[in-house]
Amino acid sequence: MSRASNGSFPFVGHYRCLDFVNTALVAPQGRTDPIQDFSALVSWLHEAGLIDAVERRVALARWGKGREAQQTYGAALLFRLRMAEIAERLAARKQVSKAGLDAINEQLQGLAARARVTRGKSGFVERLETDLTEPRQLIVPLAQSAADLLCHGDLSSVKRCANRSCSLYFYDTSKNHTRRWCSMERCGSRMKMAAYYQRRRLRREGR
């Protein structure tokens, strides 16, 4: 699991579009959305590695708290909702709806970016650079991630964490394709421990 520098959001999805869906699932019940405004959205995009520090500064300086920022924030949350439906359908091995595809394509229309290959820690990484002339372009990398997942990913690898109090989405990259938890650190160890004590209790009770 890769974790952001300040560790406030889990990055277990493998695809950033799934990580974005997960941001809606990490808030305790009844609490406010962890991405509570445009500035939090920009911070998350930076934490997710989708924009660099300069782009983050530019986005906040250019649009800050203006009306465009509000609209972009609203559009991002709507996109997250559509993406959550897509993730839910994929995890249930169902077809992605037309509305889901439309939502991705709508965002991809804002694509005014150049692809750039850079050397990453574990191989080459293709990254999109935008001029950021309008705030909606900030959502484009998320739509790109969704397109990447649908076109090049193994859709049967989209799963939900087996810990029901977690339920984060993740993309199973394990060799034998049997991963059940969003991550070992977050849920795997805890669930394995619980199962161990459960087995011990049953044995003790002679069941």
Contacting Zn ion (CB under 5 A), which of 8, 39, 130, 163? 163
Answer for the pair 185, 1: CB distance below 8 angstroms, yes or no.
yes
* 84 CB-near residues (< 8 Å, 6+ apart): 21, 24
Site string for Zn ion, 106-145 (x = CB under 5 A): ----------------------------------------
Token pair of 171 as six digits: 């993309």
- Please choose, from the candidates 204, 92, 202, 97, the residue with its C-alpha nearest in 3D space to the C-alpha of residue 156: 92
Binding window for Zn ion (CB under 5 A); candidates: 36-44, 52-60, 92-100, 175-183? 175-183
Does 21 sit near Zn ion (CB under 5 A)?
no
Residue type, 5: S
Q: CA 98, CA 82: separation in Å to the nearest integer? A: 11
Q: Where on the phi/psi map is residue 155: left (φ > 0), alpha (ψ -120 to 50), or beta? A: alpha
- 166 makes contact with Zn ion (CB under 5 A): yes
Min. distance of Cβ 188 from Zn ion in angstroms?
8
- Smallest distance from the beta carbon of 160 to Zn ion, in angstroms? 8
Helix (H) or strand (E) holding 124: strand 123-130
Beta strands in 131-176, from DSSP E residues, in sequence order? 158-160, 169-171
Should residue 187 be labelled a site residue for Zn ion when binding is judged by CB under 5 A?
Answer: yes
- What's the closest the beta carbon of residue 181 comes to Zn ion, in angstroms? 5
Nearer to Zn ion, 139 or 168 (CB): 168
| Span near Zn ion by CB under 5 A; candidates 135-143, 155-163, 172-180, 190-198 | 155-163
Sole window of 47-55, 95-103, 140-148, 157-165 interacting with Zn ion (rule: CB under 5 A): 157-165
Question: φ, ψ for residue 120 (rounded to 5)?
Answer: -95, -175
Segment contacting Zn ion (CB under 5 A): 33-41, 56-64, 129-137, 167-175? Answer: 167-175
Task: Tell me which residues touch Zn ion (CB under 5 A).
Answer: 161, 163, 166, 168, 182, 187
